[in-house]
Amino acid sequence: MRHVFFAIVSILASGLSFTFWMVNPVTALFLGLSGLVVRLTGRQPASNFDALLPFTILWPLLVHPVHLLNQRISGGRGWSFVIMLSATFFVTALGLQFWRSSR
């Protein structure tokens, strides 16, 4: 039952994130960090708006699958969820930046 509740909260958080995309610190943090990596590869990162809207919709939807994966792999001990979630957000933001970037 708690997984259904967690999934519903993730979908609602996605809607809130899309509504308040201008003041979302998670989006700004991960898109900024991934933009630095894209610049190091010699590409011009996408403008914030190009990668911002897809990421604001995606990041809350990733919380539930990462939570389930964390429970299966490590049993949810310690900081493993925070580390897995941060890595997932960073890889997602990096993928969006590469997809929207130009040479």
The pLDDT of residue 78 is: 76
> For 17-57, what is each residue's pLDDT tens digit?
878 777 778 888 888 898 899 999 999 887 767 777 788 88
Work out the average pLDDT over 44-72: 81
Least confident of 4-13, 20-29, 80-89: 20-29
Q: What is the pTM of this model?
A: 0.81
Q: Is the dihedral of CA 97, 100, 101, 103 positive or negative?
A: positive
Question: CA–CA separation, 30 vs 45, rounded Å?
Answer: 13
- Over pLDDT 70: what percentage of the chain? 98
